[in-house]
């Protein structure tokens, strides 16, 4: 009897060990709090767990694993398996995807933002660029065109931006500089304190971020139609961790990307945008709308020079910059 129990116990241990060996647990580094910007990651984790019967799980951390500007570094050394970052936080580390942050590209929908982002992510030069960080681009975090919330007197024309200190990264910063503003690059989590202390007078964000990071709590005006561009914030995975997945777990992950993005877009276009208008109304925030003539002049001043400068700089750095830019404009022109 004892001998039989001993064998059963050993068999149980073998089964338990085998089950444990099959389990996969990834750590995911985000920042801030759960919001529209992170809903695709939350959905991805949910779908992957469902498809694998709980064998592949993701522990999502909002700031507990790394600072947002250091997420790509953390991926490179395998400190965690998945992370989100924004290209404009460190343009020198990911120059290929900064083409997606050029001002006035003409993207009009979140679906189009996904299409153009994925086209760039899959380009061999981009793959090689991120491979330097042992990273593979998994999916974008599509965002609508940015607009500005500010304090003080509302601008009545683009000339009123002259000398205004505004949080604006990447190509949006270049666009704001073209109308005389003083762009400052800082992470989203630093914005509210900087606004409260007077370091900056205005902030360029997508609607969800204006709500999540509190700029509308003391803002007095916002621009309804400036639309200078957006930022590109991909979700990346550590290449070694991806390669180490079983075929079944890798399939569960990759097959869930499209579903996660569909969920994200539906949530952003639905709940997030439905909350945006009332949030402004409740706080009595003045809406600033510019004329078509002023916007055309703004585009003329900012778009072509920024694109030319980006192409020149990155061609010298060894990227097929013109090819990447043409890829972006081609996808947009095709209406994808």
Residue located via tokens 């694109």: 307
pLDDT tens track for 32-87 = 999 999 999 999 999 999 999 999 999 999 999 999 999 999 999 999 999 999 99
pLDDT tens track for 256-306 = 999 999 999 999 999 999 999 999 999 999 999 999 999 999 999 999 999
Domain that holds residue 301: 147-230+284-318
- Which of 210, 250, 259, 276 shows the shortest CA–CA distance to 40? 259
**3-class DSSP state for residue 132?**
coil
Are 184 and 295 found together in one domain? yes
Are 136 and 265 found together in one domain? yes
Are 49 and 165 found together in one domain? no
pLDDT tens track for 108-149 = 999 999 999 999 999 999 999 999 999 999 999 999 999 999
**3-class DSSP state for residue 236?**
strand
Output the pLDDT for position 336: 59
Q: β-strand 82-84 against 235-238: which pairing, if any?
A: antiparallel
Residue located via tokens 């593979």: 136
> For the chain, what is the mean pLDDT?
92
* H runs (alpha helix) in 65-169: 71-76, 110-121, 124-131
**How many Cβ atoms sit within 10 Å of the Cβ of residue 245?**
18
pTM above 0.75, yes or no: yes
Are 37 and 151 found together in one domain? no
Are 238 and 203 found together in one domain? no
Give the integer Cα–Cα distance in Å for 263 and 52: 20
Instruction: Please report, for the domain that includes residue 64, its CATH number.
Output: 3.40.190.170
Give the integer Cα–Cα distance in Å for 227 and 223: 9
* Burial class, 220, CB count within 10 angstroms (exposed 0-12 / middle 13-18 / buried 19+): middle
Give the integer Cα–Cα distance in Å for 78 and 291: 49
Tell whether 277 is covered by a domain.
Answer: no
Structural domains in the chain (count): 2
pLDDT tens track for 162-200 = 999 999 988 899 899 999 999 998 888 899 999 999 999
């Amino acid at each position: 009897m004892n001998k039989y129990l001993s064998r059963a116990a050993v068999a149980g241990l073998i089964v338990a060990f085998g089950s444990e060996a099959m389990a996969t647990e990834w750590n995911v580094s985000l920042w801030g709090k759960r919001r529209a910007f992170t809903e695709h990651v939350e959905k991805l984790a949910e779908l992957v767990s469902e498809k694998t019967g709980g064998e592949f799980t993701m522990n999502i951390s909002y700031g507990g694993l790394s600072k947002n500007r250091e997420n790509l570094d953390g991926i490179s050394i395998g400190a965690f398996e998945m992370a989100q970052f924004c290209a404009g936080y460190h343009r020198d580390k990911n120059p290929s995807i900064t083409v997606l942050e050029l001002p006035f590209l003409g993207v009009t929908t979140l679906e189009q933002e996904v299409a153009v982002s994925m086209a760039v992510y899959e380009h061999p030069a981009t793959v090689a660029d991120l491979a330097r960080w042992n990273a593979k681009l998994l999916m974008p975090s599509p965002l609508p065109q940015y607009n500005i919330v500010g304090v003080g007197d509302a601008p009545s024309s683009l000339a009123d931006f002259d000398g205004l200190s505004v949080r604006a990264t990447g190509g949006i910063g270049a666009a704001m500089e073209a109308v005389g503003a003083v762009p400052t690059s800082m992470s989203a989590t630093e914005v509210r304190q900087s606004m409260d202390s007077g370091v900056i007078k205005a902030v360029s964000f997508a609607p969800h971020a204006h709500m999540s990071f509190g700029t509308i709590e003391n803002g007095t005006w916002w621009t309804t139609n400036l639309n200078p561009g957006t930022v590109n914030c991909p979700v990346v995975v550590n290449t070694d961790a991806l390669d180490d997945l079983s075929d079944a777990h890798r399939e569960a992950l990759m097959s869930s990307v499209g579903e996660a993005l569909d969920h994200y877009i539906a949530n952003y276009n639905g709940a997030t945008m439905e909350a945006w208008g009332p949030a402004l109304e409740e706080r009595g925030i003045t809406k600033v709308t510019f004329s078509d003539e002023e916007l055309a002049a703004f585009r003329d001043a900012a778009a072509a020079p920024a694109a030319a400068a980006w192409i020149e700089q990155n061609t010298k750095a060894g990227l097929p910059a013109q090819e990447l830019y043409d890829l972006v404009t081609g996808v947009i022109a095709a209406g994808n």
